[in-house]
Structure 1
Amino acid sequence: MRILLFGATGMVGQGVLRECLLASDVDEVVAIGRSPSGASHPKLKDLVQADLFDYRAIEDRLGGFDACFFCIGVTSFRMDEATYTHLTYDMTLAAASTLARLNPAMTFVYVSGAGADSSESGKVMWARIRGRTENTLARLPFKRVHAIRPGAIQPMNGARSRTRAYRMIYPLMAPILPIFRALMPYSVATTETVGRALLALARHGYAKTVLETRDIEEVVRSGA
């Protein structure tokens, strides 16, 4: 498979990239972002793109992919709705609409978040916008579209958040997350599990378009 990965420098993206590079059926991973991924591997190519809202200048390099994993996400903390919409909905759809036109046989997987609001009408701003993003993606003419909604995520294998607050919190939570995962296995995902789930979706798809943490675990067991 040839895979296009957005957000390879983030915590989730780092985990996804690692699993892609380890997978024997992945021939190439192109990491696209405003800066290089920082990783080095024979399968990996970096495609630096300063403007993540306009891909016209690089369309000739965006064809022939089997799957796209969109792992870019921003926190809504202290952010107004217009800005969050631009950085969540607009950014995702700019990439997805371009790729749908160039790669109709592609599987597009969007990393959303637990609590996303499919009704688009709830009181929680970030949840409405995440839900709207999921719904619009599902209508694009890809082979398959999936959105995964992990809740708490345990970083594995050196994955590290770029958000300063999360970098402070995760070391404090490190001893606790494995306990929660053991006691409530469907409340905590890992970066490793998320990466393997995305690969399984690219290979085989899944009965559900939107996957909660329980489904993420199930798709790994059934299709990895």
Structure 2
Amino acid sequence: MNVLIFGATGMVGQSVLRECLLDPQVNHVLSIGRSATGQSQAKFREHVLKDITDLAPLTDELSRIDACFFCLGVSSVGMSEEKYHAITYELTMNIANTLANIQPKMTFVYVTGASTDSTEQGSSMWARVKGKTENALLKLPFKSAFMFRPGAILPKNGVKSKTKLYQTFIVILSPIFPLLQKWFPNTVIDSEQIGRAMISVARNGYPKSIMEITDIRNASGR
């Protein structure tokens, strides 16, 4: 399986990249992003682009991709709806439409969030925009598409958040990570499970297109 990752330097992206590099059934991993991952392995290749929507020069390489793991995302805190919509919906759909035209046989996995609003009518701005993005992605002519809705994510294996405040909480809470997962199984999931689940649904599919925490955990096998 040949895999494409967007957002491989973020917390979820780092985890997905790690699991892909460790999985012997993943033959090739391609990363596209605005910053380098620092990884160097035989089956890994990355393109650092100022404009990550300009994929035309990579058409031949992208035509051989079996699955795209889209892990780009920003917090909506302090952001206007217009700006959040541009980053979350417009950027995602620009890339997804291009990929669907180049290689419709791929599986597209999008990291969204718990409480995303599929009706697009709720009071929460971020949830409406995420819901609109999910709905639009599910209409594209990919082989299959899965919307991952994790809640609180506990990083494992040295994965770090790029958000300083979140990383501070991670450091403080890390000693009780196992207890948090036990106490809040429907709210908390770890980064390794997300990575394994993405590979699993790309390889084997899953009965649901919209995957909540329990679905992600089930798909991960862990």
TM bin, normalised by shorter chain, reads: over 0.9
Hey, what does 1:23 align to over in structure 2? 23
Deviations 1:159-217 (A, max 9, x none): 00111221222112212332120223232111100000000010011111100000001
Amino acid at match of 2:44: L
Displacement of 1:57 in angstroms is 3.6
Whether the 8 Å CA contact 2:32–2:52 is kept in 1: the answer is no
Structure 1: which 5+ residue stretches go unaligned? none
Instruction: Tell me the secondary structure at the aligned position of residue 121 of structure 1.
Output: coil
Hey, what does 2:33 align to over in structure 1? 33
Whether the 8 Å CA contact 1:153–1:191 is kept in 2: the answer is yes
1:43-192 aligned within 5 A: 43-192=43-192
Q: How many pairs were matched up?
A: 222
Relative to the length of structure 2, the TM-score reads 0.96
Instruction: Quote the Cα distance in structure 1 between the aligned partners of 2:82 and 2:42.
Output: 40
Q: Identity across aligned pairs (percent)?
A: 47
Between 88-97 and 67-76, report the one with greater CA deviation.
Answer: 88-97
CA RMSD of the aligned region, Å?
1.2
Instruction: Quote the Cα distance in structure 1 between the aligned partners of 2:37 and 2:99.
Output: 20
Structure 2: which 5+ residue stretches go unaligned? none
Whether the 8 Å CA contact 1:15–1:192 is kept in 2: the answer is yes
Whether the 8 Å CA contact 1:15–1:194 is kept in 2: the answer is yes
Instruction: Quote the Cα distance in structure 1 between the aligned partners of 2:52 and 2:124.
Output: 26
Displacement of 1:47 in angstroms is 1.1
Displacement of 1:55 in angstroms is 2.3
Instruction: Tell me the secondary structure at the aligned position of residue 123 of structure 2.
Output: coil
Instruction: Tell me the secondary structure at the aligned position of residue 175 of structure 2.
Output: coil
Instruction: Quote the Cα distance in structure 2 between the aligned partners of 1:161 and 1:183.
Output: 23
Relative to the length of structure 1, the TM-score reads 0.95
| Structure 1 outlier segments of 4+, above 3 Å | none
Between 203-212 and 175-184, report the one with greater CA deviation.
Answer: 175-184
Instruction: Quote the Cα distance in structure 2 between the aligned partners of 1:111 and 1:65.
Output: 18
Displacement of 1:39 in angstroms is 1.3
Deviations 1:147-169 (A, max 9, x none): 00000000000100111221222
